[in-house]
């Protein structure tokens, strides 16, 4: 019988890659990198063999979709930020049986979900950036679930999360579940970016205060209250992918019955106007 052994909300900002390259950003994202590696180390200690990533950089417009290929290998350049992420090599094993099972169970529960085995269907950088750093501490199989949901509601994503848990428990896999996305996500307007040192600042003080309040709620285990405010928080603070990754995470953890005290392993930091962190959700 499988189980979700650890869960986390993780940043995937491109400046993490740039932080390891020569230039003005070198070293500045080391705490975020360290956070990813700490999460992977703990997952390894708990016996995780697979990482399921709910990726807010995979945009979908109909149904839900899972990249369940048996192997992911390629050279990735970001369409969004080709100046930041270019020619990034990757090579990871997949867990197609688990991906297929999640899709079938979600569909059986009323949320139409497709699982894909296509070499031409690339992973997005919401999956590739965490894997780049986590794989240094622990090699895991990868299943990527689209979480930039444009015409879906959070209750559907909750069901996908419930399907993730059910599929894992019916498998032989031990899973690290990652919601890959920011907190607030109001990127600086292009014309304002340079004047506000945009790489290292938040675009809205209201968003920053809300992000810090949410982190406090998570650390206190007040998840039931957070879920009541999730739709408005995602809307008014421009949550990345409308925070469907977070809805999936909570669906897998029991939704408003989840009451564990979260641990911030990377202190909150602004990036390009957005609010970022790495947070462990104990199981």
Residue-by-residue pLDDT tens, the chain, 283 positions: 999 999 999 999 999 999 999 999 999 999 999 999 999 999 999 999 999 999 999 999 999 999 999 999 999 999 998 988 999 999 999 999 999 999 999 999 999 999 999 999 999 999 999 999 999 999 999 999 999 999 999 999 999 999 999 999 999 999 999 999 999 999 999 999 889 998 999 999 999 999 999 999 999 999 999 999 999 999 999 999 999 999 999 999 999 999 999 999 999 999 999 999 999 999 9
Contacts for 108-113: CB closer than 8 Å, 24+ residues apart: 109/159, 109/162, 109/163, 110/159, 111/64, 111/156, 111/159, 111/160, 111/163, 112/63, 112/64, 113/63, 113/64, 113/65, 113/66, 113/160, 113/163
Distance between CA atoms of residues 56 and 48, nearest Å: 22
How are beta strands 113-116 and 3-10 bridged, if at all?
Answer: unpaired
Distances (CA, A) of 205 to 70, 79, 124, 275: 44, 29, 29, 11
Phi and psi dihedrals of 94, rounded to 5?
Answer: -105, 180
**What is the SS3 assignment for 94-114?**
ECHHHHHHHHHHHHHCCCCEE
Q: What is the pLDDT of residues 93-127, one digit of tens each?
A: 999 999 999 999 999 999 999 999 999 999 999 99
What would the pLDDT profile of 16-54 be if each residue is shown by its tens digit? 999 999 999 999 999 999 999 999 999 999 999 999 999
Position of tokens 């869960």? 7
Which candidate, 145, 162, 147, places its Cα nearest to that of 53? 145
Return d(Cα 86, Cα 155) in angstroms, integer: 36
Instruction: Show the domains of the chain with their CATH numbers.
Output: 3-281 (3.40.830.10)
Distances (CA, A) of 80 to 9, 147, 173, 252: 22, 17, 33, 30
């Amino acid at each position: 019988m499988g189980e979700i052994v650890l869960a986390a909300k993780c940043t995937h900002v491109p400046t993490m890659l740039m932080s390891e390259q020569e230039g003005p950003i070198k070293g500045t994202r080391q705490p975020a990198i360290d956070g990813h590696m700490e999460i992977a180390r703990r997952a390894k200690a708990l016996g995780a063999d697979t990482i399921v990533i709910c990726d807010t950089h995979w945009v979908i417009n109909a149904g839900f979709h899972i990249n369940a290929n048996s192997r992911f290998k390629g050279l990735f350049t970001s369409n969004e930020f080709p100046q930041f992420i270019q020619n990034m090599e990757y090579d990871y094993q997949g867990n197609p049986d688990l991906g297929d099972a999640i899709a079938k169970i979600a569909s059986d529960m009323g949320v139409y979900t497709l699982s894909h085995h296509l070499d031409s269907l690339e992973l997005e950088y919401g999956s590739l950036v965490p894997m780049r750093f986590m794989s240094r501490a622990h090699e895991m199989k990868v299943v990527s679930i689209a979480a930039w949901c444009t015409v879906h509601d959070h209750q559907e994503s909750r069901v996908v999360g419930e399907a993730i848990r059910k599929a894992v428990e019916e498998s032989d896999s031990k899973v690290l579940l990652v919601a890959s996305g920011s907190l607030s996500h109001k990127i600086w307007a292009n014309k304002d970016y340079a004047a506000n040192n945009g790489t290292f600042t938040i675009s809205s003080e209201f968003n920053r205060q809300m992000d810090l309040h949410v982190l406090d709620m998570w650390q206190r285990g007040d998840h039931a209250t957070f879920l009541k405010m999730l739709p408005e928080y995602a809307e008014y603070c421009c949550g990345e992918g409308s925070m469907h990754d977070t809805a999936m995470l909570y669906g897998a953890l029991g939704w408003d019955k989840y009451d564990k005290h979260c641990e911030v392993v990377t202190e909150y930091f602004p990036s390009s106007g957005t609010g970022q962190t790495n947070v462990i959700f104990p199981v």
